Chains A and B, each alone.
Chain A
Amino acid sequence: MKDFFRVYLAGIVTSIKTGAAYRANFILMNLFDLLWTVAAPLVTILIYGAGASFPGWTFWEAMLMQAIFGLSSALCAVFTENIVWETMNHVREGTLETVLLKPMPPILYMFSTCFRINSFGGVLGSLVLIAVSSVNCEITYSNLPLCILLFLAGFAVNAASALISAAASFKWVANSRLFEINLSFENFGKYPVKIFPFALRMVVTFLLPFAAMGCFPAEILLGRFDFVNLLAVIPAVLFLLFAVWLYNHMIRLYEGVGG
């Protein structure tokens, strides 16, 4: 594990150097990410501006939920999402050998080199939104550890989703749509689960707990959490373990391209 952190740190430093190689792109990407994240709750603003609302959620509470979701998505964009595109390119171009030559598990090497500093603007934007929303809500700070636990569960689900999409590319070469479908599905996490039909609520809570990306951490911070939903941590961990197993299994199927 110590080795992994050493390599991971070196990977991050290398990614920062790579990002800094094109300064204009680095600044613009982060700026757009920041603006995009800040503008993301526009739908919520429109809903509440039109006099409608998510039942039981004030405007700032809904903003807090979506900002937490935004932070989860942005962190995934920085830390895990790139593994999908990198794996897809390696498989399509037959260059995965360069990864398999490294003396560490390929999945860890991929994570350590897939850090994307150009997406950091989204993290910053989300943190600003969380801070602004928190000031306007009643926060139960004693629940912060549980909020972080659920947030990590949501991050794990998102990472698992990226890993599964990446793993699928070993078989379905260059199939980027699968990850886009996953990204669409995770959007269920940025709305209160109670607005969904029962079956869907069960799916996003206990099967693929995308609700842990935004809704659950916000609910627990606001002190209105149904503690049964803490069970979402278990499927989140299982989902991540399955994704790791699948990725490692699919690597065995790698056949390269003509030499």
Chain B
Amino acid sequence: MQTAGRVEASLPISSDMDLAWVRQHVRQTAAELGFGLVEQTKLVTAASELARNTLVHGGGGRLESVRLANGHVRGLRLTFADDGPGIPDVERALTDGYTSGDGLGMGLGGARRLVHEFSIDSGPDAGTRVTVISWTVRPPHPRGEV
């Protein structure tokens, strides 16, 4: 049985200083939940990529983080939301090498590989919401079905 806790934090993403706060918050929360070092590092890296997308492409936005529990397994859900121009072609944006800015084109697709669950809701002029979840123990279904 999966239960979601209260919203742990809601952080603004409006400067590169905020990106550092996002990373620090995610690392600290993941450590408190009992994530191992490698999973912590993956989640913080994914959060850094997604928060930078929110800042650079979405014109700024927010991160909401919620602690989850599924039996004895703990999880962290991170939602990055902006009211920016949105992503016209989500599938294409998830392709490695796709870039609309000066990055390496690994941000969105790379972030998806670093977490256990990934969903994105975006469209032209509709803003973008990216939600990721990772668990302290990887759920027993293959990554392709996430």
Question: Are A and B bound to each other?
Answer: no
Residues of B at under 8 Å CB distance from A?
none
Residues of A at under 8 Å CB distance from B?
none
